[in-house]
Structure 1
Amino acid sequence: MRGGWVYIMSNRRNGTLYTGVTADIVRRAFDHRTGCVAGFTRRYRLNRLIWFEPHDEIVMAI
């Protein structure tokens, strides 16, 4: 199994938070920042990566 990342995105200080899990943190942060994927993060403009943590296995990240 591949490693994974747990991350938190926000739209501003004391704003809305979104917690996610991914295998590719760079691509996923880019997706959020550009708003190319429809959904919660685009609706609330969550484009700031404020925290991330690597895990050896994606199951542990989940």
Structure 2
Amino acid sequence: MGEKKYFVYILTNLHNTTLYTGITNNIFRRVQQHKQGEGGQFSQKYKMRKLVYYEVHCDVRTAIAREKEIKGGSRIKKVELIATLNPDWLDLTLEAGK
């Protein structure tokens, strides 16, 4: 049986002006929900459609703590974090879903 994975992720809108941080155990499904406008009020309002950053954790408590850490950081910190994985801010949905 496979090991459970938890993803902490950052989404943005088409123009990269708004960031949303979340957590899920199925990154591909969750991002598809956001893209279809089913991701919650914030992501619907700001049209969060592009996955620009993600991390994989094996422990849900660690993932939740990391999500809170990222959410509590400034926009500058989030942009720096995105740049470490995805300096061109490409949509990583297909890569993350593998």
TM-score (norm 1): 0.87
Deviations 1:12-59 (A, max 9, x none): 344100000111111100000111244100010010000111001111
Structure with greater helix share of residues: 2
Structure with greater strand share of residues: 1
> SS of 2:22's equivalent?
strand
- Contact 2:30 2:39 survives alignment (8 Å): no
Let me know the Cα RMSD of the aligned residues.
1.7
Which has the higher Rg, Structure 1 or Structure 2?
2
> SS of 1:50's equivalent?
strand
Stretches (4+) displaced over 4 A: none
**Amino acid of the residue matched to residue 16 of structure 1?**
T
Structure 2 gap segments, 5+ residues each: 65-98
- Contact 1:5 1:58 survives alignment (8 Å): no
**What is the match of residue 17 of structure 2?**
15
Q: Figure out how many residues of one structure are paired with residues of the other and give that number.
A: 62
Structure 1 gap segments, 5+ residues each: none
TM-score (norm 2): 0.57
CA distance in 2, matches of 1:56, 1:12: 30
